[in-house]
Chains A and B, each alone.
Chain A
Amino acid sequence: AQSVSQHNHHVILSEAASLELGCNYSYGGTVNLFWYVQYPGQHLQLLLKYFSGDPLVKGIKGFEAEFIKSKFSFNLRKPSVQWSDTAEYFCAVIPWGSSASKIIFGSGTRLSIRP
């Protein structure tokens, strides 16, 4: 079955530390890839997306992600985190197939930033 794995359930960092959140998916065909963020008390928001082209994708708030097809990975990075980055981060995939709009989400990574 198609799935998305997020390796870390909870990450705790100090401000200004660098961030990398892992994401791997299991699907051999064409995929659309996303990172969504959910700030405390808010709804899911799109952070960045990959559809095609340059595998290094830049999103909002200084985040970026790199699609490595050979590793089935789409890790999220930020060189210097801020306290306001405290949130839940979800990696997500749309595998192309019979229903090319069904998002498969990972279980999420909770990011806590110490001020």
Chain B
Amino acid sequence: GAGVSQTPSNKVTEKGKYVELRCDPISGHTALYWYRQSLGQGPEFLIYFQGTGAADDSGLPNDRFFAVRPEGSVSTLKIQRTERGDSAVYLCASSLAGGGGAADTQYFGPGTRLTVL
């Protein structure tokens, strides 16, 4: 079956612009996660959706970052007024159930490499 997919694979934008990053989770997975990975670092948690609602958005760095999952499947991470410091690989993951436990293994997508010039 298909894994987690993310589009675009690469995005180059100018400082101050708005970008949208898309994540398509594994079919049937109710939980969806966004992480950000800067060069030389491990992924850092941004936000976690259970179904359509954001169960934990404590990792969003500021109010320029916003994510939605309106139908409980595809999710879009939105970044307003991009800054050079936003340059990173944005990873999406999904899991069957969320909430911890054996069903909560997260499967990662290939990521979107965002470069802000």
Give A contacts to B, CB under 8 Å. 4, 32, 34, 36, 42-46, 49, 51, 90, 92, 94, 96, 98-108
Q: Which of B19-27, B72-80, B105-113 contacts A (4 or more CB under 8 A)?
A: B105-113
Interchain CA distance A45-B91 in the complex, whole Å: 12
Q: Are B108 and A44 in contact (CB under 8 A)?
A: yes
Query: How close is A83's CB to chain B, nearest CB, in angstroms?
Result: 23
Chain B residues near A46: list those with CB within 8 A.
Answer: 105-107
User: In chain B between 52 and 101, which residues have their CB closer than 8 angstroms to a CB of chain A?
Assistant: 55-56, 58-59, 91, 95, 98-101
Q: Are B105 and A108 in contact (CB under 8 A)?
A: no
Interchain CA distance A101-B50 in the complex, whole Å: 10
Evaluate whether A99 and B42 lie within 8 angstroms (CB atoms) in the complex, with A46-B107, A51-B101, A94-B104 already known: no
Q: Are B42 and A101 in contact (CB under 8 A)?
A: no
Interchain CA distance A96-B110 in the complex, whole Å: 27
Q: Are A102 and B105 in contact (CB under 8 A)?
A: no
- Selected from A4, A51, A99, A105, the residue in CB contact (under 8 A) with B56 is A99
Interchain CA distance A106-B41 in the complex, whole Å: 8
Evaluate whether A43 and B108 lie within 8 angstroms (CB atoms) in the complex, with A94-B100, A101-B31 already known: yes
Query: How close is B22's CB to chain A, nearest CB, in angstroms?
Result: 16
Interchain CA distance A102-B54 in the complex, whole Å: 12
Evaluate whether A108 and B95 lie within 8 angstroms (CB atoms) in the complex, with A46-B105, A49-B105, A101-B33 already known: no
Chain A residues near B95: list those with CB within 8 A.
Answer: 101
Chain A residues near B108: list those with CB within 8 A.
Answer: 36, 43-45
